[in-house]
Structure 1
Amino acid sequence: MQTSDICKDRCRPSGSEALPQGIVTKKSNYKMRPLWGSSLKNDNPPPSMSLLAIAVGIKQKAIVNQIVEKFPLSDFVVMLFHYDGVVDEWRDLSWSNSAIHVSAVNQTKWWFAKRFLHPDIVSEYNYIFLWDEDLGVENFNPRRYLSIVKDEGLEVSQPALDPSRSTVHHQITARIRNSIVHRKILKFRGNTKCYGNSTSPPCTGWVEMMAPVFSKAAWQCTWYMIQNDLIHAWGLDRKLGYCAQGDWTKNVGVVDAEYIVHLGLSTLGVFNGSEALLSKSKEVDKRPEVRTQSSVEMNIFHERWEAAIKEDRCWVDPYQLISNQTRH
C-alpha cells in the first residue's frame, strides 16, 4: 500500500488534522500532577481505578465523609460536586485535598455529570459511582461490591436498599435477604404487573438514580443520553437498559449482598440565610417547585425519546428483539 493510501485511511479526531498523529492525546483523567520533582518516565502500568462522584452540600458533610471513607483512595478517585457553593469548609477532612472539587450553585448531579464526566475524561476508570449524598453505607464495601458486579457481568447496577431503614420508591431497589443479586421483581397487583417472563421496566432492566454504578462502556452510552437542559434526569432511569451492552435482563441488576440505606433527604431547593441568593427571609423552601420541574422534564424527555425513534429510520429497538426472543 502506498503512503498516500495509508494517509487517506487514517481516522483522525476532528480538529487534530493539522497535527502529527503521535502528538495527539485523545483522552485524559483526573490524576493530579506535582508542580516539581516528578519524573515523567514511569514504566509501571497505571493502577486499576474507579471514580466516585457525589453531589454534596455542606449540611450533609458528616454523611458524605462516611461514604468517602468507605472508598480506598488507592482504588478510587473522589469527585465532589458542590451545589451550594461551599468548598473551603471541607478542607479539614483527611481526604479532601486528594479529591476533585467542582462548584456551581443550585445545579444537580446530572448537570455536573454531563459537563465534567465526559467519556474521554473518565475512560481510564473502570466503574463510575454517581451517587447522591443521603446514603448510609454501614453495610457497604465497594471492593466487594465491584467483585460481585464483575462476577455477575453487570454493566449498570446499584446497591440494594435496606427496606426497613430506607426511603424506597420502587420495589426493584429493595434488598432481598439471602440473595447476592436480583435482576427482576414479581408483582401481581396494581396497574403494572411483573411476571417471570417480563423483559422491561419497571420489572427488570433498570435501577434508580440515587446510587447508580456504571461500567466504562455503559457510562459512555449513558452520557450521550443525558440531556443538557433536563438537569433532573427524570425518566432516564427507565432507559438505562439501552446502555447495558447487551441483554439488560442480565446486565442490569441490584446487588443485595452489599446494601445501603437511602435516607431520602430532599436538599435541592432549600436555601438558608448565609447564602447570597436571599435578601429577606432566613430560609426559603423551593422543594415543591423542584419536584414539579422534575415531572415537567420527565415528560419532555419522553417526548424527545419518541420523536427520536420516529426520526431515526435506521434504529432497531433491542427491547423488541429481546421480547420476541422471550416469546419464542
Structure 2
Amino acid sequence: MKWMIHVAALAIGLSALPGSWAQAPDAKAYPTKPIRLVVPYAAGGGGDAVFRLVTEPLAARLGQPLYFDYRAGAGGTIGLNLLSKAEADGYSLGVGSSDAVALAPNYHARLGYDPQKDLLPIAIVAEMPLVLLVKADSPIKGYKDLVKMAADKPGSVTYGTPGSGSASHIMGALLASGSGVEFTHIPYKGTAPAIQDLLGGQVTTIITSGFDAVPLDKAGRVRALAVSGTQRYALLPKTPTAREQGVDLVDELKVWFGVFAPAGVSKAIVARLAREIDQIISTEQFRTRSAELGFVPIHTTPEQFQLRVQEDTTRLAALVRRTGVKPD
C-alpha cells in the first residue's frame, strides 16, 4: 500500500548548500526523484502517525515527494530487512523502532539483517515511555492495588501487550519480578486488539506506549498506574513512575522511532536529511501535534543516534537475560 505526498518541487540552489556539500558529488543534486520511506507497521499505527508529521514538511524542504511503502509484520523487522538490502543511494529510507532495532537482535539469530551493520541511523524523531493501564472503571486505583490483587489471588492478574518479545512484554515481567508477584502475559497481534480487550474487561491491564495511552487517558477511558523511565511522563504528569512505587527495573525502558537508511549512503546525504528532520521537529507545529499524539520530540545527530542504538541493544540484552522472556 502506497500513498504519495504531493508537494510543489522547490528549487534548491547550490548557493544555499553548506561548503561541505559542494564537495560531495552524490549529494550536490540530491534528491532528483521521489524518495521511498519503508514503514514496517500497519497504516494508522504509532510509527505511521509519527512519520506523517515529518514527511510533508520534509518533502517540501527536499523538493521531491516522499511515498510510504508499507511492509508490516514481525514487529517491524520485515520492513527493516527489506530496507537493509535496498540500494544505498538515499532514495530508500525507512522507519525503525527500538523494538525492531535494539530489542529484536537479542531474540532472533536470523533476523536477515544486522541493525548495527546494515542500517545507518539518521535521526530519532520521537520517544515515549511505556504505560501500565487499567480501564477507567476498574476497582484497581493504583499500582499497589494491582500488586495486592496478584498476591491475594496468584494468576488472577493478566496483562496484554502488542506481542511476545516486545518491550511491553519485558516491562510486565520486570514489574512482576520487582514486586514479587506473578502477572500472566497475554500477547496480542498489535496494540489495537489489546486495547479492545482491556476496555471489554477481558484482561486486567495492558502495557503500551505513550502514543496509545495518552489519547485513551484524555478520553477518560483508562487509568494510568505507572510509567517506565526515571522521570514522570510530561503528557501524563499525575502518573507516578514505577520507580516511585518501589520498582526500579524499568527505568531504562522507553520506545523510540527513528529514520534509517541502508548502510553505505553517503555521509553528506545523511547529514542533510538529519539537519532537515531536526529543523522540522523543532517547529511549534510539530511540538504541539506530538503532544496531542502522546510522544516527545527528540533531537539527535546521526552519531548520537548510532550510539543510542548500541547502548540500548546492550541494555535490553541484559533485561532479556534477567526476565528470560522469549517471543512465541
Q: Give the TM-score of the pair, scaled to structure 2.
A: 0.27
Larger radius of gyration: 1
Which fold has the larger relative contact order, with Cα–Cα distance below 8 Å and residues 6 or more apart in sequence? 2
The alignment's TM-score, normalised by the length of structure 1, stands at 0.27
Larger fraction in helix: 2
